[in-house]
Chains A and B, each alone.
Chain A
Amino acid sequence: MPAEKDPCLSGRGVTKVFGFGRTRTVAVDHVDFDFHEGEVISIVGESGSGKTTLAKVLLGLINPTEGEVYFQGKERDIGSYRKKKEYWKQIQAIFQDPYCSYNIFRKIDTVLLDCIHMRGGRGLPRAKKVELMAEACSFVNLKFDELTNKYPFELSGGQMQRLMIARIFLLKPKILLADEPTSMIDACSRATILDMLMQLRDEIGMTVVFITHDIGLAYYVSDVVYIMENGRFVESGSADNVILHPKETYTQRLINDVPKIYEEWDLSTV
């Protein structure tokens, strides 16, 4: 692990409230966090714990009701469209459902071209663009020649998620938020996706934030784990500490209730 650096993304008292009056729900409730550069962080929570809302706040897709998000040591400023665009050059995301993540009316190469344009490559010659796209595709084991003029929905779920990684490869962001990137695809494609993500992290040195409900996955991939319950972080720390030696009752219950194969799965505790 790299030595303690300045956090590249941190939050203080970040809160998101939806609705008001009787329908008021606090999705994210005063959470504090420090994500350090180069780390793989997992935010683990059950459905409804507010982890996806937090991800959207971090991405700047929705504004927090309260609290501040600090990006690279400075308070994040995404007030205008231009500033947002700058911010999104640094932070990118992979979403849960590959089938919903693509505009079904746009072809695959336009998806990748967007990324080149975002990195200021609008003026590049066509051949150079194709070369970049082909490189990105070969990184994720897709053949670019076969993908041009195809639509995303003609691919399988695993291929679509790989295309998403190719996108990240082109964008080279500082931080990647992966919101359940493997929950909608088959188990045997999962390892491929995770391996590629990790390889990409090593290559461009980005910070990866996994949002997941699968505590096993969090343990497998991450250095630091945050456990989220009802919009709050109940426990955080290194993956080994939190998952193998949980202190909070919620974390203990969560880990206890996941089916095991090496140890006895105790059914009597519910």
Chain B
Amino acid sequence: MEHTLRQVFRSGKFVAGFSIFVAVLLIVFLYPLIVPHPPLEIISQGTFFPPGIYVDVYDSIGSTTHYTLNLDDAVAKRIASKLKEEDRLAMKEWLVAAGLSESEIDAADTQSLMDQWVNNYDPKTNIPGMTNARRNYYIRLNTSLDGILSTEGAIIAARNPDTGVLEEKRIIPQSEYVNVSEVANVRVLPLGTDNFGRDVLTELVKATTVSLQIGFVAGSIATLIGLALGLLAGYVGGLIDDAIMFFTNLFTVIPSFVLLILISFSIGQERRGAVTIAVVIGFTSWVWTARAVRSQVISLRNRDHVNLSKLSGHSIFHIILADILPYIASYVVMALILQISAGILTEAGLAILGLGPKTTLVPTLGLMMNWAMIYQAQILGKWWAYFPVIITIALIAFSLNLMNTGLDQVFNPTLRD
């Protein structure tokens, strides 16, 4: 046993798959301990807020201590962030019309563009062919640029409750900073929010947990049913084998996904919980395990060690448990791993069609995809609503399949090198 385990962990593929899977499991277990927000809490007004760190504006102004930092590039960055692409192009257009050569002007270089503008712009300059409206636009642009360039601070005023007159409370200079850790309300949304305004990352972790549970339950059920039927059909043989194989073949020819859709649909939205879905998936995907186990058992039951066990007076249950099961154990473990992976993918497939678990209690990876699709995240370019989900599904399926291949290499002598 230890020897087998050592061999398994010497297989590079298995170790890679296992590491990825364990990493996913660790994140799933540890994240809720670190970030204890409820996963389905609606926190934002409006949909699809982009990823980032959200700092409360009121709190940061009202923050008790302000710090003065003299950073060289602060002004440049401020101007750069406020100067829109179309304004830059308009500035360049005016400068060219005013007689500067085009090659001299670089619209991307904020500093030189501003210098050139300040030096050359004159609202009185008459540029032929320019409409009045356009001229006014340039005047407005210039005024706002003056505002950006001004080094005065912003004034905070509050209304005096007695007189109703605005009174100056404070001036906030441009070089004043707040420390984010001192601001009362900061929310980090690494993956932004979804269509309902929920934190995508927290939701994703919860969804991964639920999906893994669904996969595990579905995989276990499928493997158990397949194993039981396969063992029975393979070892007992005869009429029982014929009956079980008839049943199995029946299931083989009906596409299981169609069956799944029909069953899910007939259960009804209200009664479809995550567990129900898992059980339904498990009950429709045992067929291949049963067939594979049966064929393995048939080749095992005529082996000499089974004959010897019979001659030692062991009962049929003892033979199945002690002489057959250990020999197919590695095979069954591999089947289980594949079934778990298939369960997760099937759930995702069902949920994306709107036939997954009901949507109010828990998220699943499939449900997240479904929501993103319904609210057109892919058309609006809100990648954070669906792309991390795809990555997670792919990573789980990939790691499980990698583990399976690794195991196959260890246990299948024809693949051993």
Contact present between A and B (CB < 8 A): yes
- Name A residues whose Cβ lies closer than 8 Å to a Cβ of B: 56, 59, 61, 81, 84-85, 88-89, 92-93, 95-97, 100-106, 111, 114-115, 117-118
A81 — which chain B residues lie within 8 A by C-beta? 315-316
The answer to whether B310 and A114 touch across the interface, beta carbons within 8 angstroms, is: no
Across the interface, name the chain A residue whose C-beta is closest to B326. Answer: A105
The answer to whether A88 and B305 touch across the interface, beta carbons within 8 angstroms, is: no
Selected A-B contacts with CB under 8 Å, 26 pairs = A59-B307, A59-B311, A61-B307, A61-B310, A84-B310, A88-B310, A89-B313, A92-B311, A93-B307, A95-B304, A95-B307, A97-B304, A100-B304, A100-B305, A101-B304, A101-B305, A102-B305, A103-B309, A103-B322, A103-B326, A105-B322, A105-B326, A105-B327, A106-B322, A114-B313, A117-B313
A59 — which chain B residues lie within 8 A by C-beta? 307, 311
B303 — which chain A residues lie within 8 A by C-beta? 100
- Residue B312 is within 8 A (CB to CB) of chain A in the complex: yes
A111 — which chain B residues lie within 8 A by C-beta? 312
* A114-B312 CB under 8 A given contacts A103-B323, A105-B322: yes
Across the interface, name the chain A residue whose C-beta is closest to B315. Answer: A81
A97 — which chain B residues lie within 8 A by C-beta? 304
The answer to whether A101 and B308 touch across the interface, beta carbons within 8 angstroms, is: yes
A92 — which chain B residues lie within 8 A by C-beta? 311
How many residues of B are counted as interface, with CB atoms below 8 angstroms from the partner's CB atoms?
17
Shortest Cβ distance from residue A142 to the other chain B in the assembled complex, whole angstroms: 18
A103 — which chain B residues lie within 8 A by C-beta? 305, 308-309, 322-323, 326
The answer to whether A88 and B304 touch across the interface, beta carbons within 8 angstroms, is: no
- Residue B187 is within 8 A (CB to CB) of chain A in the complex: no
Q: Considering the chains assembled together, what is the distance between the CA atoms of A129 and B86 in angstroms?
A: 95
- Name B residues whose Cβ lies closer than 8 Å to a Cβ of A: 303-305, 307-316, 322-323, 326-327
Q: Considering the chains assembled together, what is the distance between the CA atoms of A89 and B312 in angstroms?
A: 8
Across the interface, name the chain A residue whose C-beta is closest to B311. Answer: A88
Shortest Cβ distance from residue B328 to the other chain A in the assembled complex, whole angstroms: 11
B309 — which chain A residues lie within 8 A by C-beta? 103
The answer to whether A118 and B305 touch across the interface, beta carbons within 8 angstroms, is: no
Q: Considering the chains assembled together, what is the distance between the CA atoms of A88 and B305 in angstroms?
A: 15
Across the interface, name the chain A residue whose C-beta is closest to B308. Answer: A101
A104 — which chain B residues lie within 8 A by C-beta? 305
Of the candidates B305, B311, B327, the one having the most CB atoms from chain A within 10 angstroms of its own CB is: B311
Please count the residue pairs between chain A and chain B whose beta carbons lie under 8 angstroms apart in the complex: 50
* A88-B326 CB under 8 A given contacts A93-B307, A95-B307, A102-B305: no
Which of A93, A100, A118 is the one whose CB lies under 8 Å from B313? A118
The answer to whether B311 and A93 touch across the interface, beta carbons within 8 angstroms, is: yes
B307 — which chain A residues lie within 8 A by C-beta? 56, 59, 61, 93, 95
Across the interface, name the chain B residue whose C-beta is closest to A164. Answer: B308
Q: Considering the chains assembled together, what is the distance between the CA atoms of A61 and B327 in angstroms?
A: 21
A100-B305, A101-B305 known, 20 other contacts, Cβ within 8 Å: A56-B307, A59-B311, A61-B310, A81-B316, A85-B313, A88-B312, A92-B311, A93-B308, A95-B308, A96-B304, A100-B304, A101-B308, A103-B308, A103-B309, A103-B322, A103-B323, A103-B326, A105-B322, A105-B326, A114-B312
Q: Considering the chains assembled together, what is the distance between the CA atoms of A97 and B307 in angstroms?
A: 12
A88 — which chain B residues lie within 8 A by C-beta? 310-313
Shortest Cβ distance from residue B67 to the other chain A in the assembled complex, whole angstroms: 70
A96 — which chain B residues lie within 8 A by C-beta? 304
A56 — which chain B residues lie within 8 A by C-beta? 307
Q: Considering the chains assembled together, what is the distance between the CA atoms of A61 and B323 in angstroms?
A: 16
Q: Considering the chains assembled together, what is the distance between the CA atoms of A111 and B314 in angstroms?
A: 11
Q: Considering the chains assembled together, what is the distance between the CA atoms of A102 and B309 in angstroms?
A: 9
Q: Considering the chains assembled together, what is the distance between the CA atoms of A61 and B304 in angstroms?
A: 11
The answer to whether B312 and A115 touch across the interface, beta carbons within 8 angstroms, is: yes
Across the interface, name the chain B residue whose C-beta is closest to A56. Answer: B307
Shortest Cβ distance from residue B330 to the other chain A in the assembled complex, whole angstroms: 11
Q: Considering the chains assembled together, what is the distance between the CA atoms of A187 and B308 in angstroms?
A: 25
Shortest Cβ distance from residue B303 to the other chain A in the assembled complex, whole angstroms: 6
B312 — which chain A residues lie within 8 A by C-beta? 88, 111, 114-115, 118
Q: Considering the chains assembled together, what is the distance between the CA atoms of A45 and B255 in angstroms?
A: 51
B322 — which chain A residues lie within 8 A by C-beta? 103, 105-106
B313 — which chain A residues lie within 8 A by C-beta? 85, 88-89, 114, 117-118
